[in-house]
Structure 1
């Protein structure tokens, strides 16, 4: 899919027959699939491990805080999921603009531009972090507004104040990671994240439990861990120059900022609408009559879904790099075939994950609860969890394709329509009006994910990849680090 100068959309089938290669021959297809799958896993494997390591930082802190006391657990949990979760989604989304620009510039053979792009993203994200600071400062009334008790809100608000350094680590970290990912330097990020996780586990035990520093120790370890990730990755870039992609700090970082801001905002809206969608499910479930058991059950399911989502995030990063690199290089057909390979691979894993959820639905709830009522409710929700896991094996991949190709604005509109105009109202209608409870709420929201996935499949299938490659070349020239920036 692409727009010409008159705003007309051009579409062609996903796999055309005039590509110069006979993909219909089984042997040729298998060889190509194997080669592309190998390239994919070199990116996706480390990206999955990185996502798991960074996800585990907050999870470990929450676990150690829970060993101190109930109020400490609640403070860390609420701050981590609501305040920091909101900031994480915004920062990750805005930083994802670099996946398009850095990936296409690197594919076009313009590595020097990557450093300029990263610095521009730093300027934008650091400014955004300053804008978000008041949310941390006034988090207690914000949390009370959404229904938290005064005791939990005040404890979480105090912890949020101590976690402001983490916010600025996010602002530097995500551009750095996109900068490295676009060059396929994913192992650097993985080793740094894994090393920091080991240190984080030890110092969390030392400060939170052994020395008895409680929430103060939790804040120190979590802040320090995120800043160690930033320092480790940045040290690699400054020492190695990243094969010419880093040429030092430049005033060009402040050029053409408005165009960068627009793409960053589109990326943020696109990803945040996805990131927050299932989080809203827990909030709405809390509005049911006698919500304690449904909320506990849905929280267990979301925990399972969160860990499974790390796999999808790895594939999201991998396909974003593959598509942006190949479009930047002008290899439209290779970009197109990479989409086929990652979709087949991710959906296959999704089918296995769905089968695992359904096969263990009578057992896995007891890993999280000793309550028979909560376990029974979780078992009832397992079918919906299985469908969600399956859908979320493909949906993030298609979002990664969108980021790699630069379709953030289009997907943002699709997400608004499918999630918040169709899925969310349908869930509220089924859950409350028709009395299906949490099953109805979740079913309606799954409908929104289904609709969004179908639309993205159609859009991707009808994309004119040759035209996308031409647009990538134009984008690299327009947002380059040279004279074009000065105009």
Structure 2
């Protein structure tokens, strides 16, 4: 439906592109940005999945994997809001920088950050006030509900930090800094985050909470 709209709508008349052999010559430049962009996103998601796998090595693995999986589900549900802002920021920033309007790009970043911080704080407050009963949306087992409630403050902090990270990743992509972002995510998640989580979970014995921290 989108293809038909772009092909025949008058709104796309000035930007409609016919297929050309130039497509093949521009693929190299496309992949130069696409591969690091995919790396930024994948490195982040894979680290969360890895933590859930690691939770299977903890005592009472059924409980630990259930709790971490539910925590990931909760954060995923809200993540698409800042991710949508990030897509907008990426497009807007790249357009403004391409047009030589650095000041307009800066204003865009500031506006997006204000919107996302307001939305994340509002959502985190709702989650915090509901964290004692939040687990019942997913399970009727009191043990799981209690553990989700215990994780509530951490989830609220995660939502705020994930929102900021999502938007700043969008800004980085719009600025053409995908390769830097991929290296930052590699270092942050795999050289710092996961090892610290392992130490907190298995050495300090914070279990699933340690992995999430």
In the TM superposition, residue 431 of structure 1 has moved relative to its aligned partner by: 0.5
Q: Deviations over 1:18-46 (max 9, x none)?
A: xxxxxxxxxxxxxxxxxxxxxxxxxxxxx
Structure 2 partner of 1:321: 91
Structure 2 residue 158 is the aligned partner of structure 1 residue 388: yes
C-alpha distance in 1, partners of 2:90/2:26? Answer: 23
1:235 corresponds to? 4
Q: Distance in 2 between matches of 1:247 and 1:360?
A: 50
Aligned: 1:304 with 2:74: yes
Q: 5+ unaligned residues in a row in structure 2: which ranges?
A: none
Deviation of 1:278 (Å): 2.1
Give TM-score, length-normalised by structure 2.
Answer: 0.94
Q: How much is the aligned-residue C-alpha RMSD, in angstroms?
A: 1.3
Question: Which among 401, 410, 417 is matched to residue 171 of structure 2?
Answer: 401
Query: Is 1:375 paired with 2:145?
Result: yes
Q: After superposition, what is the alpha-carbon deviation per residue over 1:391-435, rounded to whole angstroms, capped at 9, x for unaligned?
A: 012110000100111100011111111111000100011101221
Gaps of 5+ in 1: 1-231, 444-487
Preserved contact between residue 294 and residue 377 of structure 1 (Cα < 8 Å): no
Mark the CA change 1:413 to 1:334 in structure 2 (over 3 Å): closer, same or farther. Answer: same
Q: Deviations over 1:301-360 (max 9, x none)?
A: 222111101111111111112111111221110100111111111011111111111110
Match in the other structure for 1:270: 40
TM-score by length of 1: 0.42
**1:421 aligned partner:** 191
Residues in 2 aligned to 1:413 and 1:433: alpha-carbon distance in whole angstroms: 28
Partners of 2:66 and 2:18 in 1: CA distance: 50
Q: CA deviation at 1:383?
A: 1.3
Number of aligned pairs?
A: 212
Q: Which runs of 4+ in 1 moved over 4 A?
A: none
Distance 2:30 2:128 in 1: 44
8 A Cα contact 2:71 2:148, kept in partner? yes
User: Rg bigger for which structure?
Assistant: 1
